[in-house]
Chains A and B, each alone.
Chain A
Amino acid sequence: MASIINTSTTLGGIATEGDSSNELKIQTDGTDAISIDGSQVVTFAAPIVFPAGTASTPAITTTGDTNTGIFFPGADRIGFAEGGAQCGEFDASGNFQFNSGYGSVATAYGCRAWVNFNGAGTLTGTYSQSGTTITVTITSHGLSQGKSVYITFQSGTASAEAFTVTSVTNANVFVVTSATSRTTSGNCTLATVIRASGNVSSITDNGTGDYTVNFTTAMPDANYAIVTTGQRNSAGGITDTGIYGGAASTLTTSTARISTLNGAATATEDLPVVCVAIFR
């Protein structure tokens, strides 16, 4: 049976809708503030404001485990607590700090920058164009759909231009779409590409096997750990990579210069896959 309590549109009150909807609503100033439907789903018309809480008594917690949850340790900060102790926090700068088992919330360590790029300048392969569809075969191209690439066609009649990868057939084949329809095929090269990265603005190619990783956001200091790996031209697998992080003087808060070497470590060598990760 429907019932209405205090139906004034200018005052607060509680109202239940008809039997078919089974809704309960709480109004303030004539407007629904909280609605609870027949499935006990609660809808709030405005933000829910919690007390700040603490690590031992989080503002948002759960039944039976009230010392685990979310709290607000200060302005623009969101804290997370387990068992009454803080275990993580988004600080006022948007950085996520957490207890990893190797540090505290204040000193948590993590990967602060990383990149996977083609250090060989170009990758070579073959292509076949039918209509506007160009199918490119390049071993371990490392591309994904939507990536921007520049392809030079060394034989056949296709025109060198910038493309967006239409689709990736497999690790060695991808498809791009040309503005011009034609039928042709031949050899091609793919310009240097940064396959994927985080907190890296660019790679500087200084010469054969000599690269500088430029960070988008600088490190807190230059005492970070640099981890490198890669794939050699001839080895065909990730084996003896011969990459080193350079002398201490080449590691700064904003850049890390590395060299990639041949298998005997006697000379620098361009590698088609170079991976760098920075931990601090």
Chain B
Amino acid sequence: MNQRIIYPNDEGGVSIIVPAPECGLTIEQIAAKDVPAGKPYQIVDVSEIPTDRTFRNAWTYEE
């Protein structure tokens, strides 16, 4: 899968869910199951995730 699910985490940053290719679930099913209840989330293309993780903990979630 070349999509990711992003949501704001409790530490004020952003969590990024990487689907397991062999799990047999769709990205929507994974979002429904693995995003914490009540959290807003977005399904984005992997190209939208920064590749430079130098300041990974400073990343934030935007609606």
Contacts and interface: CB of A to CB of B under 8 A. Distances in A.
A197 interface: yes
A227 interface: no
Interface string A195-223: 01110111111111000101010000000
B20 A203 contact: yes
Nearest to B55: A208
Contacts of A193: 18
Interface residues of A, number: 33
Given A117-B18, A201-B34, A202-B23, A148 B1 contact: yes
B51 A214 contact: no
A11 B31 CA distance: 62
A204 B5 CA distance: 9
A32 B2 CA distance: 54
Residue with the greatest number of chain B CB neighbours at <10 A, chosen from A148, A191, A204: A204
A106 interface: no
A178 interface: no
Interface residues of B, number: 27
Interface of B: 1-2, 5, 9, 11, 13, 15-25, 30, 33-34, 46-47, 49, 51, 53, 56-57
B16 A152 contact: no
Interface of A: 115, 117, 120-122, 147-148, 150, 152, 160, 162, 189, 191-194, 196-198, 200-208, 212, 214, 216, 255, 270
Given A202-B17, A202-B20, A202-B34, A208 B47 contact: no
A147 B53 CA distance: 24
Contacts of B17: 202-205, 214
Contacts of A216: 20, 23-25
A270 B55 CA distance: 12
A138 B34 CA distance: 30
A191 B15 contact: no
Contacts of B21: 147-148, 194
B34 A204 contact: yes
Contacts of A196: 22
A214 B30 CA distance: 9
A269 to B, nearest CB: 11
A227 to B, nearest CB: 18
Contacts of B51: 121-122, 152, 189, 191
B11 A207 contact: yes
